[in-house]
């Protein structure tokens, strides 16, 4: 709310770079909250604040965060190779997951449910899988409310894999209208390569 209120004031004072950075932060927050349309509007507003061709400021974040945000919001296709992906998942042969080039080991998974959820999501195609279907697969003996809560906790842990405690996670798992998807612009899965 503060960024939305101050943005016009900053622009009015000629602080367009500051206003653009505020809009980018809004876009990131909205994208992480699943508000893709609002996030696209904030990203477009950030671009409009700067002269044509001038790159958007990348704030204090890593060099690739802006690219990842733009890919998520601009509807970019899936990475064409595993080397371009934020998350690389190997299912053929040994199951292996790498996030930002770092391999996850058993100690990193924060419980078997997290790994089981990712495997079930991939097994169901990885895109627009009904949340209820995942709950039924993973917790068949739990009632609906408990299974939904289990899924919510496992999704939270899955998103935070590979993140430092104070680091905001990249939203590579989307939940929208009761469906769960791997973000195609951020994830590469060997079993799905060439199918998207």
| pLDDT tens profile 135-169 | 999 999 888 889 999 999 999 889 888 887 777 77
Q: What is the pLDDT of residue 54?
A: 67
The Cα 95–Cα 165 span in angstroms is 25
Section 51-68 average pLDDT = 65
Judged against a pLDDT cut of 70, whether residue 23 lies above it is answered with yes
The share of the chain scoring above pLDDT 90, in percent, equals: 15
Q: What is the pLDDT of residue 80?
A: 46
pLDDT digits (tens, 9 = 90+) for 90-127: 888 888 999 888 888 888 887 888 999 999 998 888 88
Strands 129-130 and 173-176: unpaired
Please answer whether residues 138 and 117 qualify as being in contact, where contact means their C-beta atoms are separated by less than 8 angstroms. yes
Q: What is the pLDDT of residue 195?
A: 47
Please answer whether residues 131 and 148 qualify as being in contact, where contact means their C-beta atoms are separated by less than 8 angstroms. yes
Domain spans, the chain: 2-74, 82-192
Task: Average the pLDDT over each of 59-68, 100-109, 127-136 and give the range with the smallest value.
Answer: 59-68
Task: Tell which residue, 64, 53, 101, 96, has the closest CA to residue 190.
Answer: 96
Task: Average the pLDDT over each of 9-23, 67-81, 113-127, 150-164 and give the range with the smallest value.
Answer: 67-81
Q: What is the pLDDT of residue 108?
A: 86
The Cα 55–Cα 69 span in angstroms is 14
Classify domain 82-192 at the CATH class level.
mainly alpha
Higher pLDDT residue, 62 or 128? Answer: 128
Judged against a pLDDT cut of 80, whether residue 193 lies above it is answered with no
Q: What is the pLDDT of residue 78?
A: 47
Angle between the 16-32 and 36-48 helix axes, to the nearest 10 degrees?
A: 170
Section 45-72 average pLDDT = 68
Structure pTM? 0.58
């Amino acid at each position: 709310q503060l960024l939305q209120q101050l943005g016009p004031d900053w622009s009015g004072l000629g602080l367009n770079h500051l206003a653009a950075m505020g809009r980018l932060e809004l876009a990131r927050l909205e994208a992480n909250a699943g508000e893709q349309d609002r996030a696209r509007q904030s990203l477009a507003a950030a671009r409009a604040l700067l002269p044509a061709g001038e790159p958007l400021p990348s704030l204090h974040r890593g060099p690739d965060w802006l690219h990842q945000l733009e890919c998520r919001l601009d509807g970019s296709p899936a990475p064409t190779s595993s080397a371009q992906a934020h998350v690389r998942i190997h299912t053929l042969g040994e199951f292996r997951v790498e996030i930002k080039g770092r391999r996850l080991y058993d100690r990193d998974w924060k419980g078997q449910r997290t790994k089981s959820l990712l495997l079930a999501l991939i097994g169901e195609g990885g895109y627009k899988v009904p949340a209820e279907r995942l709950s039924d697969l993973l917790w068949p003996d739990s009632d609906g409310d408990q299974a939904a809560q289990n899924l919510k906790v496992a999704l939270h842990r899955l998103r935070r894999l590979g993140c430092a405690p104070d680091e905001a996670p990249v939203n590579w798992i989307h939940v929208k209208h009761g469906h769960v998807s791997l973000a195609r612009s951020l994830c590469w899965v060997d079993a799905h390569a060439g199918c998207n």
